[in-house]
Amino acid sequence: MFDLTGKIALVTGASGGIGLAVAMELAKAGADIACHYNSNENAARGLAVEIENTGRKAFIYQADLSNADSADKLVEETCDDLGDLHILINNAGVNREALLIRQTPELVQDVLMSNLASMLYLSRAAARRMAKNHWGRLIHMGSVVAHTGSTAQAAYSASKAGIEGMSRAIARELGPRNVTSNVIAPGYIDAGMSYEMSEERQTELYKYIALGRKGTAMDVAAAALYLSSEEAGYITGAVIHVNGGLNMA
């Protein structure tokens, strides 16, 4: 089950907690992996070694994905090095917390370009290949805050809500080409941005999580593996919540 042998996946933000876990799960299932990073080259290189130890191919690429040309180039390089592109994991993103009255135009622009525009640019580039092949998986990393909101995260919440609208539009457009587009919306995951939370805020969050604990990067990676598979071929335009019951939408 969930055999990705012969598939090629591009994972953005692969040097961080969730991206790293997703890349490893797809590799274990048989996919060759293009690992994107923005600044943490050492982590990306370490990931590539781990992937190669599973017997799969791995290449690393640095890119600022808020630039459309960089997104196009990343997909081109992936196809040149690995031969094609079947799965895109749109995972890279940033969070810039600030109360609404303190959110500068620069902060808003940075968050929207890094989280939303970058995913649109990459989806556009990847869709050209996938539509031609009549097979593809576009998987975008959203967030529970798109549904619940969060103090000091107006721009971040807006970007994550935008990802869901974008994904549904893509699902409509590319469905006839057998290309699916879905969102994974993690809740409180013990990885990446959650490390920036204060101890007090973390303790408060547990009160609202039905399972009473934080999730792991592997919980998110399992959902990504399923959505990448042949078995998920009839799921598109969906939002898969991985939040332990923090939000039961």
Backbone angles phi, psi at 12, to 5 degrees: -90, 155
Q: What is the pTM of this model?
A: 0.95
- Domain 8-241 fold: Rossmann fold (3.40.50)
**DSSP annotation of 48:** H
Q: What is the mean pLDDT of residues 203-232?
A: 94
Half-sphere exposure of 194 (CA within 13 A, CB side): 20
Q: Where does the pLDDT of residue 206 fall: very low under 50, low under 70, confident under 90, or very high at 90 and above?
A: confident
Residue range 32-83, pLDDT digits in tens: 999 999 989 999 999 999 999 999 999 999 999 999 999 999 999 999 999 9
Instruction: Name the 3-class secondary structure at 186.
Output: strand
For the sheet containing 8-11, what is the strand order? 58-62, 32-37, 8-11, 87-90, 136-141, 179-186, 239-242
**Residue 180: C-alpha distances to residues 115, 126, 228, 236 (Å):** 20, 12, 9, 5
**Residue 185: C-alpha distances to residues 7, 74, 171, 189, 242 (Å):** 24, 24, 17, 11, 6
**Residue 211 to residue 122: CA distance in whole angstroms:** 35
**DSSP annotation of 189:** B
Residue range 130-180, pLDDT digits in tens: 999 999 999 999 999 999 998 999 999 999 999 999 999 999 999 999 999
Residue range 74-131, pLDDT digits in tens: 999 999 999 999 999 999 999 999 999 999 999 999 999 999 999 999 999 999 999 9
Dig out the tokens for 167 from the structure.
Answer: 């994904």
Catalytic pick among 37, 61, 156, 188: 156
Nearest to 194 by CA among 153, 245, 226: 153
Active site residue 156: yes
**Residue 249 to residue 239: CA distance in whole angstroms:** 10
